[in-house]
Amino acid sequence: MSSEEIIDPVVIDETEQERTWLHFVVPLVLTCLALGFIAWVGISSYKATNEGALKLTRDLMEASQRYIGQEVGDYIMPVSAGDMVASNMLAYIPQQLRDKVFYSYCTTMLQKVPQLQSFYLANEQGDFILVTRAQQKNMFDHIQLVVKGDHRFFRHTLYDLQGNKIKEYEQSAGQYDPRKRPWYKDSAGAKGIKWANPFFFPADRQLVMTSSIRFHSDDGHTFVFAANISLNELSGYLGDIKIGHNGNAMIVDSEGRMIAARDMLIVPHLFSSRWAVGQKLTPESRLLSLNNHPIFSLGYDHYRVMGAGAGNITWKGKTYIVLSSKLEHSAGWVLLIIVPEKDFSSFARQSRWQSLKFVGIIIVFSTLLGGLFIRQLRRAERGLRVVAEQKTRMLSESTAVWHIAVAPNVFNPTVEPTVLTEQLVHVTQARRASLWRFLHDGTMMICEDSYDGAQNTHTGGFEVGRSELEQFFSAVEEGNVIEISQAASDERTIAFDRLVMREIGTSALSIYPIVSPQRVEGVLVLEDATPEPHQQYFMALVTAIASIRFLAQKQSEAQFSLQDKGTKKENGKEGNTLSSLQFDNLLMQASELDSVKGTKVYDSVAVLVITFSDPVVENTQDIMDLLELINRLAVDVKTIAEEKQLFAVELAGHRMICMAGCTAQPDLGAIVRVADAALKMREAFIRALSAADLEPVFAMGIDYGPAFGGRLGPEGHVFNLWGQTVSLAELMAESTSDPGIIQVTDRVYTVLRDQYLFRSRGTFFAPYLGIGRAYTLATRR
């Protein structure tokens, strides 16, 4: 299980849940509540408006109904009232005045009441007088049935409005007998006014209806007074009134026959031809049915079943409102008003549509506002996150600078610059940061330290040559910062990508040259980094520190080179002669040992400890062979030690301690000589052991640092060395990973990494020593 796979789901869930609740659910719920409230208010408003509109509609229709009923009543009333007045008046006046009064009354009524068409007066003796409107305008025709013998004729006398006789003529009456007319016969036995069926009046082809009343005069005669009322006026009135958009009204009698209707005006024209041949409007033709007036027929059925009032009927999928009422002063007539429901509900529908539109608009705006609110919250949250990230980054940079500032020996080139690369990775989030230093006047570059952030490992010591990376070297030497997103496709860094970056699969490269006042000393390389512009100061800081380190390293190497040359020159002069052995525990000693007086602290001692394990011996011959082998090895060690000018080689049982650098002045070349000696000894041991058919039974450990030692014993014949350097060298020898290995401390590695190849074994903690690294010395570069 790798660390990348370790997730704490609880923390993430809580954060996500909190963010979701705060930035999405709460605003959404609030918006939904607001929308719900608006919708509720809208629906309530709609219901109230709808109910109000329906009530208003009903009131309007009832008012219309009352108005129409009143109008129809007013239309008919003069006839019925006139009949009553005239009959009473004619019944009690003297016979001589009856005709005159009749004419006067009728003429006056015809002048004042336009819907009246004519008046009749007849008795049981067959006397008949008639007043009607003449065909000429503003003229009245007084007609009297005259019987002279067998000759029966009508005497027409025309009067104008002022009562002047205009014309008089006669017209044959044929067999006309008023007592055989329906209006006369129907009144027999009737109490009050009797209405006859409508008919078309011959004179002007108007649809008229006759009301008749029978009365007895004082002289013992029985009279029938009749009045014709034109229904055209009533139909015209019904045609003129507006009931909704498509409303219609009709008056029917108690048997369902049409009395007046909008389309009754066209009836005379429809029946004109039939009238001419003697046909008339029959009761059957006026009877309401589904064939002629389906909707009114249904409305009348509704009236018959439910009685007067309002109701709904449906015809061909459409709903109609029916209002029915009985007309006063009529012969049981019924007023039917039919209106399509949509005419009156259109107001309510419009009101509803308006309310819905209003609610819809508010909901859309509220949703929009809610969305904007959520968006704004998320943006604010994103902004806060960016600010928090910036704050964290600034804190991280400050921490990095602090780490560098408190790191001991950050300018000391012998101490590995791990803090620099670690903090670079930390600040720039790079996958890997490495410091490279030019060697040998720019022909080579050595990696001082390379830190892989993902693996948390430091490596270094490997070199690249100008011949391999010509363009990369040239780019670095230009001294400019280079940012390359795809190193594999840039000519300057193709080779670097192949040699260095491909190993861990990085692609982006940031190059920061490390410049001293004289020249470019090296380069800081970041792989897959995301450096921010404001982090340039941190890069400048790190490159400046690296520059100081590289310069110091350069000076140290120059000094070491001079000293090495001087030592070799001095040794050459003395002919490499060694003094005779003075100490019984030493296999080899240098001439400088003679000058050792007492004990002393040496600052830079290189110690090589070689440990041997016991091989298995089974007989005396084996022991003799082993002793011979040990002696051969001792001779080899002595030869190599002398060759490498070690200070002394001390034998102690299974252990051999080689030392160098026990001089008053620090011997910078001592560690190099010890390392060379260790490599040579290992080669010699392996060769000798393999010749003796033995496994490598030795291990070597090297450390470099201060130690103390000197002459011991009463005669001072024993030289010994102590200190942490010796202990660590022993620890290194005793803890090698395999036999035949040279294990060194990180102090040795730091000094020798430019000249030898090492393999890291890892980081270890030892009590009283702290954390350190162990390396395996492989060979010389």
Contact at 8 Å (CB) between 421 and 430? Answer: no
Least distance from another protein to the Cβ atom of residue 704, Å: 15
Distances (CA, A) of 135 to 91, 169, 203, 271, 533: 31, 14, 7, 20, 112
738 binding another protein? (CB under 8 A): yes
Out of 246, 443, 457, 576, the residue judged to bind another protein by CB under 8 A:
457
Residue 724 interacting with another protein (CB under 8 A): no
Q: Is 561 in the site for another protein (CB under 8 A)?
A: no
- Counting Cα atoms < 13 Å in the Cβ hemisphere of 554 gives 18
Residue whose C-alpha is closest to residue 713's, from 532, 563, 546, 585: 585
287 DSSP 8-state letter: B
Interface region with another protein, contact rule CB under 8 A, candidates 143-151, 284-292, 455-463, 747-755 = 455-463
Distance between CA atoms of 304 and 328, rounded to whole angstroms? 17
- Measured from the CB atom, is 517 or 762 closer to another protein? 762
Region of 122-130, 198-206, 450-458, 535-543 interacting with another protein (CB under 8 A): 450-458
Of 308, 664, 769, 778, the one binding another protein (CB under 8 A) is 769
Q: How far apart are CA 256 and CA 336, in angstroms?
A: 11
Count interface residues toward another protein (CB under 8 A): 30
Q: Is 96 in the site for another protein (CB under 8 A)?
A: no
Which run of H or of E encompasses 780? strand 770-780
Least gap, CB of 588 to another protein (angstroms): 27
Choose which of 385, 579, 764, 780 interacts with another protein (CB under 8 A). Answer: 764
Q: Is 414 in the site for another protein (CB under 8 A)?
A: no
- By CB under 8 A, what part of segment 4-33 binds another protein? 6
Closer to another protein by Cβ: residue 689 or 731: 731
Q: Which is nearer to another protein, 464 or 729 (CB)?
A: 729
510 binds another protein (CB under 8 A): no
725 counts as binding another protein under rule CB under 8 A: no
Report how far apart, in Å, the C-alpha atoms of 74 and of each of 66, 552, 626 are.
12, 129, 155
Closest to another protein by CB, 157 vs 459, is 459
Quick check: 530 binds another protein (CB under 8 A)? no
Contact region for another protein (CB under 8 A) — 586-594, 602-610, 625-633, 764-772?
Answer: 764-772
Instruction: Tell me the window of 384-392, 449-457, 482-490, 513-521 that interacts with another protein (CB under 8 A).
Output: 449-457
CB of 699 to another protein, least distance (A): 8
Q: Which stretch binds another protein (CB under 8 A): 111-119, 355-363, 435-443, 736-744?
A: 736-744
Among the listed ranges 75-83, 234-242, 679-687, 769-777, the one in contact with another protein (CB under 8 A) is 769-777
| Contact flag: residue 576 with another protein (CB under 8 A) | no
Q: Rounded to whole angstroms, how far apart are CA atoms 424 and 445?
A: 20
Q: Do residues 224 and 120 touch, judged by C-beta distance below 8 A? A: yes
Q: Does 456 bind another protein (CB under 8 A)?
A: yes
Tell me the C-alpha distance between 355 and 365, whole Å: 15
**Minimum distance from residue 738 beta carbon to another protein (Å):** 6
- Pick between residue 168 and residue 734 the one whose CB is nearest to another protein: 734
| 759 sits in which H/E element | strand 756-766
Out of 57, 604, 743, 750, which residue is the one contacting another protein (CB under 8 A)? 743
d(CA 340, CA 313) in angstroms, rounded, equals 10
Distance CA 292, CA 734 (A): 127
Alpha-carbon distance values, 578 to 638, 646, 709 (Å): 12, 11, 21
Question: What minimum distance in Å lies between the beta carbon of 719 and another protein?
Answer: 27
The 3-class SS string of 679-731 reads HHHHHHHHHHHHHCCCCCCEEEEEEEEEEEEEEECCCCCEEEEECHHHHHHHH
Q: In terms of Cα–Cα distance, which of 750, 613, 723, 712 is closest to 659? A: 723
Which of 50-58, 166-174, 362-370, 758-766 is the region at the interface with another protein (rule: CB under 8 A)?
758-766
Stretch of 42-50, 198-206, 310-318, 757-765 contacting another protein, by CB under 8 A:
757-765
Q: What backbone phi and psi angles, to 5 degrees, belong to 318? A: -105, 145
Q: Is 732 in the site for another protein (CB under 8 A)?
A: yes
Residue 469 or 774 with smaller CB distance to another protein: 774
* C-beta of 418 vs 507, nearer to another protein: 418
Least distance to another protein, CB of residue 555, Å: 32
Shortest spacing between CB 421 and another protein, in angstroms: 17
Q: Is residue 129 within 8 Å of residue 143, measured between CB atoms? A: yes
* Strand-strand pairing, 698-712 and 742-745: parallel
Contact flag: residue 714 with another protein (CB under 8 A): no
According to the binding rule CB under 8 A, does residue 504 interact with another protein? no
- Please tell me whether residue 736 binds another protein under the rule CB under 8 A: yes
Euclidean distance between CA atoms 602 and 284, whole angstroms: 148
Q: Measure the CA–CA gap between 684 and 696, rounded to whole angstroms.
A: 11
Residues 670 to 709 in contact with another protein, rule: CB under 8 A: 695, 699
Specify the residue, 121 or 748, whose C-beta has the smaller distance to another protein.
748
x-marked contacts with another protein along 610-649 as a string, rule CB under 8 A = ---x------------------------------------
CB 42 within 8 A of CB 356: yes
* Residue 629: CB minimum distance to another protein, A: 18
Nearest distance in Å: CB 504, another protein: 14
Half-sphere exposure of 307 (CA within 13 A, CB side): 0
C-alpha closest to that of 660 among 684, 685, 643: 643
Q: Which is nearer to another protein, 514 or 610 (CB)?
A: 610
Q: Of all residues in the chain, what percent are helix, strand and coil, respectively (each to 5)?
A: 45, 25, 25
φ and ψ at 368, to 5 degrees?
-60, -45
CB 739 to another protein: min, Å: 6
Shortest reach from residue 767's CB to another protein, in Å: 5
- Give whichever of 278 and 767 is closer to another protein, judged by the CB atom: 767
Q: Encode 684-700: b = buried (16+ Cβ within 10 Å), e = exposed.
A: bbbebbeeeebebebbb
Q: Of 734, 778, 779, 780, which one interacts with another protein (CB under 8 A)?
A: 734
Report the residue number, 292 or 690, with the smaller CB distance to another protein. Answer: 690
Say whether residue 104 binds another protein (CB under 8 A).
no
Among 50, 471, 735, 755, binds another protein (CB under 8 A): 735
User: Quick one: tokens of 9?
Assistant: 């789901």
Distance (Å, rounded) from C-alpha 153 to C-alpha 175?
9
Cα separation values, 264 from 72, 203, 231, 553, Å: 15, 18, 9, 126
The residue ranges that bind another protein (CB under 8 A) are: 1-3, 6, 455-457, 613, 695, 699, 731-732, 734-739, 743, 761-767, 769, 771-772, 774
